[in-house]
Structure 1
Amino acid sequence: MKLNGNTVFITGGGSGIGRGLAEALHKLGNKVIIAGRRRSHLDAVIAANPGMEAIELDITDPASIDRVAAKLIADHPGLNVLINNAGIMQADTVAGKIDETLLTSTMSTNVYGPIRMTSALIDHLKTRDKAVVAYLSSVLAFVPLAVTGVYSATKAAIHSYALSQRFMLRNTSVRVLEIAPPWVRTELMNSQEAEQAMPLDQFIAEAIAILGTDSDEIVVDAAKPFRGNVGVEEHGFVNGFNEQALAIFGGG
C-alpha cells in the first residue's frame, strides 16, 4: 500500500488502534476521515489533527452504513482506502449459556458491520487506482482466547472473509489487507495499563511500516508466533496460551 496521497476512511477512529492509524496516516500526507458512534471522541481526534474529518456512524445499523457510504462518495470521490477497524470485545461464557445481547452486539459490530461497510463502498473502490480494503482482525483469529470466545470467533470469521474477498478481487484494482494485532494497550478489556500488552505507539509504528510493503497481512513481530501456530498441532499452543490467560483475566 502506498503510504501517502490517499483518501482514507477508518471506522472506529475515535480511540485505540483506529485513532492511532488515523493519526499516523494523517501525518504521512493522506486525507483521513474517521467514523464512530461517540461524537465527543471524534471531536477530540479532529481537534488534535487539523484537516482530519469525522462522521458519526453506527456500524451495527445498515441504514447508517448506507447513509455514510453515500456521503463519503459524494463528498470525497477520491476515496480509495477503507480500514474496517470498529470492534468490541467482552468476556463471555462459552462453557455455559451465552448472553444473547453480548452475542448479537459482538457479531453485529465485528462481523456484519465490516462486511456491510465494505459492501457499501466496494463498487466505488473498484473505480479507484491502488484501492485498499483493510480489516482489523486479531491474533485471536488464529489462537482463540477462551474467555472471549465469541470475540475470537468473530476475528476468525473476518480472517476467512478477507481470504475469500482477496481471491475474488484478484483481477481488480482493489487489494484486500488484514491487520492482525497482538494484545495492544487500548480500551478493549481495559488494557490501557497492561504491562504484558504491546504499547499502542509501538504497534502503530510497526504496522505502518508493514503497510508500506506488498504484504497482504500486517503481522508485527509480537504477533508472528500466533499467526504461525495454525495447523494440526495447534492445540498445545492454544491450551498453553489460555492457561496463562486465566491467570491474568480469571474465569474457567
Structure 2
Amino acid sequence: MDIRTSTVFIPGATSGIGLALALRLQAAGSTVVIGGRRTELLEELAAHHGFDTVALDITDPASVTAARDTVLERHPELDTIIAMAGVMAVEDVRDPDFLDGALRVVETNIVGPLRLVAAFIGHLQTRPQATVMTVSSGLAHTPLAVSPTYNGSKAFIHRFSETLRLQLASTSVEVVELVPPAVQTDIMPGQADEPSYLTLDDYADEVMELLGANPHAHEILVERVKFLRFAEVEGRYEAAVAAVNG
C-alpha cells in the first residue's frame, strides 16, 4: 500500500482509529472515501476535511452493495479498502441474553468484513496494485476475559487474513492486517480516558510510520501490541493472559 498515492475506502471511519488513519492518509497524499451509518456525522466530516463520504451499514447486505456501486462510480481508480468497522461488548456467557449481544458482534466484526471483501475483491483484482487491509486485535492472541466474542471475532479476522493472502498470492491484491493494542477510543465505555492505553494519535502516527517504511508488510504491529501478539510463540502466554486480566 502506497500511503502517498492510494485511493482508499474506509468503512467505519467516522471516529476512532478509522478517522485518525483517514486524516493521515489524506495528508500523506491519498484520496480517502469514508463510510458510516451516521449521515449527519459524514456530512460534518466532508465539510471539515473534504472527504468523499458514503452511507453504509455493514450489517445490511443491500447497503454494502449500494455503497460499493457508489464508491466505484465516483472512484473507479479505487485500489484499497480498510475494513475498519467493529464493535466490542462486555459479556458473560452465563447471562440469558448473552447470545443476542454475541451475534451482534459476529455480524459486525466477522460478517461485515466478509461482505466488504466479497463486494470489492472483483474490482480490486483489476487494479495494477491493490490492498485489502483487515483489522484484528492483540486480543486475538491474548484474550480479555470480559469480551469473549470480540476476542474470537478478531481471531477469525487474523486467520482469515492469512488465508486470504494465500488465495490472492497470484493476483495484484496484497492483504495487510492491522493489529491494534488497547488504544484510547470509544469502542468501550471509559476506554478513551484510560491512561494505561496507547493514545489514539500515538497509535495512528506509528501505524503511518510502519506503512511508509514497509508498504508491502503483512502485519502492522506497533511496539505496544507485540506483548500480546507474540505471547504464545515466545512461551509467556499464561503470564500475558494474567497481565491483561489483572
Q: What band does the TM-score fall into relative to the shorter chain?
A: over 0.9
1:9·1:82 contact (CA, 8 Å) conserved in 2? yes
TM-score, with length taken from structure 1: 0.92
Alpha-carbon distance between aligned partners in 2 of 1:70 and 1:56, rounded to the nearest angstrom? 12
CA distance 1:237–1:44, shift in 2 (3 Å): farther
* Deviations, residues 207-240 of structure 1 (Å, cap 9, x unaligned): 0111221321001000111111134945413431
In structure 2, give the amino acid aligned to 1:48.
Answer: H
**Is 1:10 matched up with 2:17?**
no
The code of the aligned residue for 2:243 comes to F
Structure 1 runs not aligned, ≥5 long: 245-252
Partner of 2:137: 138
Q: CA–CA distance in 1 between the matches of 2:233 and 2:54?
A: 41
Determine the structure 1 residue equivalent to 2:210.
210
Map residues 18-167 of structure 1 onto 2, 5 A cutoff. Answer: 18-50=18-50, 52-97=51-96, 99-167=98-166
Deviations 1:141-194 (A, max 9, x none): 111111011101000000010000000001110000000011001111121111
Give deviations 1:120-152, integer Å, cap 9, x for gaps: 000100011220000111101111111011101
Query: In terms of mean alpha carbon deviation, does 185-194 or 155-164 score higher?
Result: 185-194
**Displacement after TM superposition at 1:45 (Å):** 2.0
Deviation at residue 242 of structure 1 after TM alignment: 4.1
Query: 1:4 offset after TM fit, Å?
Result: 1.2
- What is the rounded CA distance, in whole Å, between the counterparts of 1:234 and 1:96 in structure 2? 31
Assess if the C-alpha contact under 8 Å between 2:144 and 2:241 holds in 1.
no
**Backbone CA RMSD of aligned residues:** 1.5
Q: Which residue of 2 aligns with 1:195?
A: 195
1:27-57 CA-to-partner distances (Å, cap 9, x unmatched) read: 111111000111222223222212x111110
Q: Could you tell me which residue of structure 1 aligns to residue 228 of structure 2?
A: 226
Q: Residue by residue, what CA displacement relative to the aligned partner does 1:38-85 show, whole Å, maximum 9, x if unpaired?
A: 1222223222212x1111101101111111111212221000000000
Q: Structure 1 residues 232, 204: closer, same or farther in 2, change over 3 A?
A: closer
Report the TM-score when normalising by structure 2. 0.94
Distance 1:151 1:90 in 2: 7
Check conservation: 1:144, 1:238, Cα contact below 8 A.
Answer: no
The number of residues matched between the two structures is 243
Identity %: 35
Cα distance in 1 for partners of 2:14, 2:229 equals 27
